[in-house]
Amino acid sequence: MHQSSEIMTPHSSARRQWIQAAAATVLATSMGAWAQAPARTLRIGHQKGVLSVLKSRGTLEKRLAPLNVSIKWTEFAAGPVQLEALNVGAIDFGDVGEAPPIFAQAAGAPLAYVAATVPRPAAEAVLVPKGSAVKTVADLRGKKIALNKGSNVHYFIVKLFEKAGLPYSDLNLVYLPPADARAAFEKGSVDAWVIWDPFLAAAEKTLEARVLADATGVVGNRGYYFSSLDYVAKNQDVLNLVIDEINRIDQWGAANKDAFGTELAGIWGLPKPVADASVGRQAFGTAPITKAILAEQQQIADTFFQLKLIPKKINLLEAAGAGIA
């Protein structure tokens, strides 16, 4: 997909430096001096995605053993609660969509962006029931739309309405986490549901939900890997290895989509056709945080401030962590 080349080409130099740093960490851990390393813990929060695969495979534990680092895993249903956990010091690392970090930083969370995925616009969409009379975005005016507040799809629906020439005041949002939103959608108590994969694929396959619009041409829908500013400052060696392992899974998944779908179906407890649909529209690739990527996030933050969804203006450069290209 063209998204991958879009991110790799402009920042190839930064990416090379990033990979070299990770390789240096790997080399250092193979020198045998790790026996005296103090014990550390990495507490990872994850959603249904690449980090779930990393947990299932157990490869990260082996990579971090020479550094005397143990891992504690916690699964979350969505990004906002994951970042709440970061804010109260309950996790050190996680994966999240575009919008939750904005809300978290505005709330004072000590957030640091560690890495980004390539854009994945096809992986989030507005769903309507199979027999719905809603045919266009304009038809959603005043209709009950379920979504997870402060998530990536929150920004998507704002920009989708904007693109259609509709004011934010025409949105009738019902804030529900994914499981509750699915139940409300299935019962017909909401008219539409804005959601991401694999929940999106599951609703398509098991509820015969219809995609009204995905995010293609509306928003980029990057994913982000985050930590806290304090953890980044003290544990860059650990984070380098984590991102290197994520990259390995990304590369393997891109080359082995059928097998990746089988693996994800088992981890998620979902039928293989659901996992295959999710993998089929996935864009693979991970890259270092750059000023250009943070500028994308700044646009989201400014939009949310203008809509009074966050209480204050924020500067994304304050969440740059160990430095950016």
pLDDT digit string, tens, across residues 256-269: 999 999 999 999 99
Band (301; pLDDT cuts 50, 70, 90): very high
Residue 206 shares a structural domain with residue 97 = no
- Are 115 and 140 within one domain? no
In a domain, 324, yes or no: no
Percent of the chain with pLDDT over 70: 87
**Is position 184 within any domain?**
yes
Whether the per-residue pLDDT at 221 is higher than 80: the answer is yes
Least confident of 3-7, 98-102, 140-144, 287-291: 3-7
pLDDT band at 79 (very low <50, low <70, confident <90, very high): confident
Residue 325: inside a domain:
no
pLDDT for 316 equals: 94
150 with 233, same domain?
Answer: no
51 lies in the same domain as 81: yes
pLDDT band at 287 (very low <50, low <70, confident <90, very high): confident
Do 209 and 107 sit in the same domain of this protein? no
Average pLDDT of the chain to the nearest whole number: 88
pLDDT surpasses 70 at 15: no
Domain co-membership, 309 together with 242: yes
Q: Which has the higher per-residue pLDDT, 271 or 1?
A: 271
**Average of pLDDT values for 159-172?**
95
End position of a domain, from candidates 179, 214, 249: 214
Residue 18 has pLDDT above 80, yes or no: no
The stretch 89-112 carries a mean pLDDT of: 92
Last residue of a domain, one of 182, 214, 246: 214
Rounded mean pLDDT, 219-235: 94
What pLDDT was estimated at residue 78?
A: 81
More confident residue, 194 or 96: 194
Tell me the pLDDT band of 48, cut-offs 50, 70 and 90.
confident
Domain that holds residue 288: 2-119+222-319
Q: For 119-153, how does the pLDDT look when each residue is reduced to its tens digit (9 = 90+)?
A: 999 999 999 999 999 999 999 999 999 999 888 89
Cβ atoms of 142 and 249 closer than 8 Å: no
**pTM of the prediction?**
0.81
For the segment 43-56, the average pLDDT, to the nearest whole number, is 90
> Residue 230: inside a domain, yes or no?
yes
Sign of the torsion formed by the C-alpha atoms of 249, 251, 256 and 261: positive
Judgement on whether residues 85 and 25 belong to the same structural domain of the protein: yes
Q: Are residues 115 and 156 both part of a single domain? A: no
Counting the structural domains of the chain, the total is 2
Q: Which CATH number characterizes residue 210's domain?
A: 3.40.190.10
Domain boundary, last residue among 180, 214, 248? 214
The three-state (H, E, C) secondary structure of the chain, written as one string: CHHHHHHHCCCHHHHHHHHHHHHHHHHHHCCCHHHHCCCEEEEEEECCCHHHHHHHHCHHHHHHHHHCEEEEEEECCCHHHHHHHHHCCCCCEEEECCCHHHHHHHCCCCEEEEEEECCCHHHEEEEECCCCCCCCHHHHCCCEEEECCCCHHHHHHHHHHHHCCCCHHHCEEEECCHHHHHHHHHHCCCCEEEEECCHHHHHHHHHCCEEEEECCCCCCCCCEEEEEHHHHHHCHHHHHHHHHHHHHHHHHHHHCHHHHHHHHHHHHCCCHHHHHHHHHCCCCCEEECCHHHHHHHHHHHHHHHHCCCCCCCCCHHHHCCCCCC
Q: In terms of domains, do 161 and 111 share one?
A: no
| 130 and 201 part of one domain | yes
